[in-house]
């Protein structure tokens, strides 16, 4: 998938995630080739995630993850992802996201029903958090995704946990906290002046 298409997919998933989070519900999207077992019959045929956000949202509300290939096609829903790493102070959804994101080229987007935040994981690290309750946060999503893609996820390392996010992450857009390298953030922000 080209960078532009991948950015569109990420942005679409985050926008669907914001709708889910605002209602106080949770979900998990995995982009990439991960191992999973389905918890429900796969009666819905594969479809492009960005072309049917309402169906994607409905499938995301089932227990388990929605697995999406790098081509943007929904591969499975109601999928159980093997978790090999606990994500301290969070539940199984976040642990599954963390574990899935360790697989090369995979991205996990966890939507928390408890605190109504969306957390994005890559390379086994939480790299971005979006607060669904922040006013007009939808307007920040495109810039946040552009930022993630402009510096490359490989350069970002985690510097905190979700509980410490406001003090250790850097808020660079309303409702968005970046976790990672201050060097790359400073580089990005200096380009914007």
Give the model confidence (pLDDT) of 117-158 as tens digits.
Answer: 999 999 898 888 899 998 888 888 887 787 666 655 444 433
| Cβ contact 137:145 at 8 Å | no
Sign of the C-alpha dihedral, residues 121, 125, 127, 129?
A: positive
Predicted structure pTM score: 0.83
DSSP H helical segments within the chain, as ranges?
A: 3-22, 53-60, 92-100, 138-151, 165-168, 182-192
Question: 86: domain range?
Answer: 3-192
Give the model confidence (pLDDT) of 3-23 as tens digits.
Answer: 889 899 999 999 999 999 999
Give the model confidence (pLDDT) of 49-77 as tens digits.
Answer: 999 999 999 999 999 999 999 999 999 99
- The number of distinct structural domains making up the chain is 1
pLDDT of residue 134: 87
| Cβ contact 77:44 at 8 Å | yes
Residue 181 sits in a domain of what CATH number? 3.40.1700.10
pLDDT of residue 183: 40
Q: What percent of the chain has pLDDT over 70?
A: 76
DSSP label of 82? P
Report whether pLDDT(193) > 70.
Answer: no
Report whether pLDDT(189) > 90.
Answer: no
What's the full length of the chain, in residues? Answer: 193
pLDDT band at 163 (very low <50, low <70, confident <90, very high): very low
């Amino acid at each position: 998938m080209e960078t532009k298409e991948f950015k569109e997919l990420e942005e679409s998933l985050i926008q669907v995630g914001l709708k889910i989070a605002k209602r106080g519900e949770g979900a998990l999207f995995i982009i990439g080739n991960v191992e999973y077992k389905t918890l429900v019959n796969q009666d819905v045929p594969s479809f492009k995630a960005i072309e049917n956000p309402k169906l994607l949202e409905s499938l995301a509300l089932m227990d388990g993850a929605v697995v999406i290939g790098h081509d943007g096609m929904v591969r499975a829903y109601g999928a159980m992802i093997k978790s090999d790493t606990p994500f301290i102070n969070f539940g199984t959804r976040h642990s599954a996201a963390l574990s899935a994101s360790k697989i090369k080229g995979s991205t996990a987007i966890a939507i928390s029903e408890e605190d109504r935040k969306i957390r994005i994981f890559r390379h086994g690290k939480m790299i971005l958090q979006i607060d669904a309750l922040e006013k007009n946060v939808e307007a920040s999503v495109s810039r946040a995704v552009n930022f993630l893609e402009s510096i490359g996820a490989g350069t970002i390392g985690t510097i905190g946990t979700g509980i410490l996010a406001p003090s250790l992450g850097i808020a660079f857009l309303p409702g968005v906290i970046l976790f990672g390298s201050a060097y790359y953030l400073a580089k990005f922000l200096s380009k914007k002046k």
